[in-house]
Amino acid sequence: MDLDLARQAQAGDESAFAEIVRRYSPRVFSVASRFFRQRPLVEEAAQEVFLKAYTQLGSFEGRGSLEGWLTRIATNTCLNMVRGAKRRPELTVSDLTEDEQGWLEQQSAGDGGEPASVETTVVATDLADRLLSVLSPEDQQTLLMIDGEQASIKEVAEATGWSESKVKVRAFRARRKVREAMEKLLSYKRA
């Protein structure tokens, strides 16, 4: 089914390619949203992914799913777009907004329940971006996929093209760095 659609699109059938875009744009947007927060950037990345996919349709052999193939293109395209983005060597509590500090206090004092309102979710998302900025884009993605989306090591390896052992190392390193950065923030708050 996927292979047929890909072959038709490759042969110049516009409606077949439009169907691919319609069917898989939610998945591509989901991947791009891990990298970018603003809609224009997510849309730009997603468009780039589909244009790239169109030119590479011949390389899709149908061994895996079209969704998996597009996920891989999306992950690599977005990684290329964010590579070179500035990394924070360290995150201190002074880097946080009052809302973010308040969120941390509330969460560490509470029972660990999930953020309830839209506002607190936005604050938590902002805080996540700050915390993740101590990591390389590759480590960020590994952590977001495994700990955020509960993807398996194998799935991350397939989406990125890295070996499973590399994914494991990245996940371990990312988790430790983020935990240490958070510990530091919490110790500043306590002091």
Partner 1 sequence: MKDKHITEILDNTSIAMLSESELNEIRVHAMECMSCRDAFEAARLSAVIIKSRVEATIEPSPFFQTRVMAALREQQAVESVPAMLRLWRSAKALVSTMAVTTAALAVVSFIQPSQTTPVIDQTASAYSAYSVIMDQDADDQMSYEQVLSTIYEDDDDVR
List % helix, strand, coil for the chain (3-state, nearest 5). Answer: 75, 0, 25
Q: Which stretch binds partner 1 (CB under 8 A): 64-72, 80-88, 126-134, 158-166?
A: 126-134
Rule CB under 8 A: say whether 132 interacts with partner 1: yes
Which residue among 13, 95, 119, 149 contacts partner 1 (CB under 8 A)? Answer: 149
Is 98 an interacting residue with respect to partner 1 (CB under 8 A)?
no
Distance CA 117, CA 119 (A): 5
Residue 91 · residue 130 · CB < 8 Å: yes
Residue pair 45/32 in contact (Cβ under 8 Å)? The answer is yes
Give the pair of three-digit tokens for residue 87.
């990394």
Stretch that binds partner 1, among 32-40, 57-65, 68-76, 87-95 (CB under 8 A): 32-40
Count Cβ atoms below 10 Å from residue 2 Cβ, excluding itself. 18
Binding residues for partner 1, rule: CB under 8 A, are 14, 17-18, 21-22, 25-26, 28-30, 32-34, 37, 39, 42-43, 46-47, 50-51, 54, 104, 107-108, 112, 114-115, 121, 124-125, 127-129, 131-132, 143-144, 146-150, 172, 175-176, 178-180, 182-183, 186-187
